[in-house]
Amino acid sequence: MNGFVYPRLDSATAMELIFLFRKKGTLRPAFVNKNAKPVEVGTVVTEEILRSVREIVLEAVLPWSKGPVPVSQVAEWDRLVGRALHDSMQIVPSDASHAGPWSFVTLVLLPDVAAKRFPDLHEDRLIGTYRNTFRRCWWRHHIFGDLELPKGTAPLGEDELVNIFERSKMARDHRLARVLAHEILAYEGRDRSKYARALTRSVRAQTGPLLIDALSDDQVRQLVGTHAATVAAGSGASGTVAASPRSVGAPKKVRSKRPRKKVRE
C-alpha cells in the first residue's frame, strides 16, 4: 500500500514538550523537530504534505476555533477530524500503529488543535498512545469510514467507541468492529451506552475460545447478531443484561469427573 511514514517523536522529547505546553499554555505549531526521526523504510512525508494536513484539519475544526469543544459536540469534532486526517495524511497504517508519529502530529504539527479538544492537556491525549487526540480519530475513520446513521440516531459516543477500540482483540478485527458499531447504532432501546458495554463485553468473552479471523463475514455478523439479540432481550424494564449466549464454534466446558475427596470426620 502506498503512503508516507511520519517523523516519530520519542517519549522523552514528548514529555519535555508536554511540560512546556502546560507551563506556557501553548505550543507554537511547527513542521520539524530535531528529535523526530521517521523509520528508515518507506517514503518520508514532505513538509508540503504536512502543511496541507494542517490546513485541512484547521478547516475541519473552524466551527470550534473560538474555544474548547462543547461536550455535546465532541462526537462531531472527532468524526470531522478523523476524516480530515485520514484523507490528508496518507500515512501507512503500520506507521499509524506506533505512538511516535502521533506524538509528532499532536505536539509539533497540531498542538493548538489538540488543546481545543482536551484543554486539560492530559498526557494520555498528547502522547501518541491509544487515547491520543488524533490517533483515535484516524483509526476510527480508517475502520468505519463515514458510518451511515439511521434517521434520528445519534453518532457513536465516546464511551461506546472506547468499548470497541480499547479492547485490542476486537479492534484488530476490522470486520468485528464494524459489525459491532452497526449493531449499537441499530439499537432502539433505552440507555444505548449501557447496551453497548454489555454487548461488547458479551462478544469479547468469545474472542478467547473463538478464532474470529477464521470466521466468514456472515459468521461474524451471526455471532454479533446472536449476542445483540440476547443482550437486548435482557435489557428490558429492569435494565439487567442477559448472560452471554453460546455462539457458533464456541467450545463446550468440560466438567472434571475426578472423584471428590472424602472429608475426614
Q: Which residues pair with 37 in a beta bridge?
A: 8
Q: Which residue shows C-alpha cell 432481550?
A: 233
Residue 117 contacts residue 74 (beta carbons within 8 Å): yes
Distances (CA, A) of 132 to 117, 118, 207, 209: 11, 10, 25, 31
Q: Give me the pLDDT at residue 71, please.
A: 92
Cell 475541519, residue located: 60
What pLDDT, on the 0 to 100 scale, is given for residue 165? 79
What pLDDT is stored for residue 170 in this prediction?
65
**Length of the chain as a residue count:** 265
The whole-number pLDDT of residue 1 equals: 52
Per-residue pLDDT of the chain (265 residues; tens, 9 = 90+): 589 999 999 999 999 999 999 999 999 999 999 999 999 999 999 999 999 999 999 999 999 998 899 999 998 999 999 999 999 999 999 999 999 999 999 999 999 999 999 999 999 999 999 899 999 999 999 988 877 766 777 778 888 888 887 766 666 788 888 899 889 988 988 889 999 999 998 988 877 777 787 888 899 899 999 999 989 887 643 334 443 444 444 434 434 445 554 444 4
Angle (CA) 131 132 134, round 5°:
125
Residue 256 neighbours by CB distance under 10 Å: 6
pTM of the model: 0.77
Average pLDDT score, the chain: 85
- Residue-wise pLDDT for 35-52, tens only, equals 999 999 999 999 999 999
Q: What does the block give as the cell for 221? A: 455478523
pLDDT of residue 91: 97
